[in-house]
A = this chain, B = another copy of it.
Amino acid sequence: MAVTIYDVAREANVSMATVSRVVNGNQNVKPATRKKVLDCIERLGYRPNAVARGLASKKTTTVGVIVPDISISFYSELARGVADIATMYEYNIILSNSDERTVREVELIEDHLGKQVDGMIFMSDSISDEVRKEMATANIPIVLAGTLDVEKQLPSVNIDYEEAAYMAVKKLIDSGHKRIVFASGPFTRDINRASKKVGYIRALEEAGLPVEEELIIELDNSYDTAYQNWHRIAELPGKPNAIVATNDRIAVGILNGLRDNGLSVPEDYEIICFEHSNMARVVRPQLTSIVVPLYDLGAVAMRLLTKLMDGEEVSEEQVILPFRLEERDSMKK
């Protein structure tokens, strides 16, 4: 049997309340008593039971983090940002993978709520109605990280994806391209349909260029699929040779697909990538890219969550972080 607060109290000849005060840093304890208690704690190897504490105090100092897939570097970098700030504020993290399946997302939220997390960080390319409904039943704050809420209701931390896409496309247009392939993740996902694609179209229209449906290529978000689909781009009529990808996995997949089949970047194709996670950082040629501050997205989201959990007044719950376009070698100079 593990040693409890009672054992310490008995050993130190004080009440459990006093031990509790010492453990929780309450100042109303005479230094001598404090020392005596601390000694007993040390001697007995007492370790406070966070579960009992959680039950009594109704706070678990634990936050739930739901992520599509932690093995994808975009999410693992975000998660690291979340984790560091969580540590700073002494929260633990319960991490779960949803694979972006709505059913699973709902299950996980339910599950985390059952564990009595004090707050939650949620990541996905889209918020379904079911998820939205589930979140509404929660009595704890939930912050979206790198996740778009088209209804602009939920607290969130993002960059302006539409503007970023617009800027990427414009970059290509400015360097002379008139036909730009938009290699995107599923349009069933808000972030692609309602944001990045909108930016793509806006840039085109603003330049007086036609929106050609055949240049819009919908893929899933996997590297492998993008890799295998290089030829869909290569076989496009009129051979458009500029590509903007909605994320790293797609950009790098296409880049490698093209190169492994004898085509060159940027000579044959110019590519702009989105995100620039560690995965994209190591490929060559280095990718001209929208650099999303992944770590910061996670860190700021967690910081926002701490404020919400503490009941602090937050002036703006929809945080937009800056991004930048970095020119490297996947476009001609």
Contact = CB atoms under 8 A, between A and B. Distances in A.
Contacts of A114: 47-50
Contacts of A284: 256, 259-260, 283-284
A93 B65 CA distance: 10
B93 A282 contact: no
B73 A70 contact: no
Most buried by B among A73, A96, A115, A260: A115
A260 B295 CA distance: 26
User: Which size bracket describes the interface of A in this complex?
Assistant: 35 or more
A87 interface: yes
Q: Output the residue of A84, A139, A256 with the most chain B CB within 10 A.
A: A256
Given A70-B70, A84-B97, 8 more contacts: A70-B80, A71-B77, A87-B96, A92-B96, A92-B115, A93-B95, A256-B282, A279-B279
Nearest to A93: B95
A160 interface: no
Given A114-B50, A115-B51, A282-B223, A95 B95 contact: yes
A202 B76 CA distance: 37
A15 B61 CA distance: 32
Number of copies: 2
27 contacts: A47-B110, A49-B55, A49-B116, A51-B60, A55-B55, A62-B94, A70-B79, A70-B83, A71-B73, A71-B278, A73-B76, A79-B95, A83-B95, A83-B97, A87-B97, A92-B94, A92-B111, A93-B95, A93-B96, A223-B282, A256-B282, A260-B284, A278-B279, A279-B279, A282-B283, A283-B283, A283-B284
Contacts of A137: 45
A54 interface: yes
A79 B75 CA distance: 13
A37 interface: no
A294 to B, nearest CB: 9
Contact of A51 (B54, B112, B278, B279): B54
Nearest to A65: B95
A314 interface: no
A32 interface: no
A60 B114 CA distance: 11
B71 A76 contact: yes
Contacts of A2: 139
A203 interface: no
A137 B283 CA distance: 45
B96 A94 contact: no
Contacts of A252: 282
Nearest to A47: B114
A48 B110 CA distance: 10
A52 interface: yes
A113 interface: yes
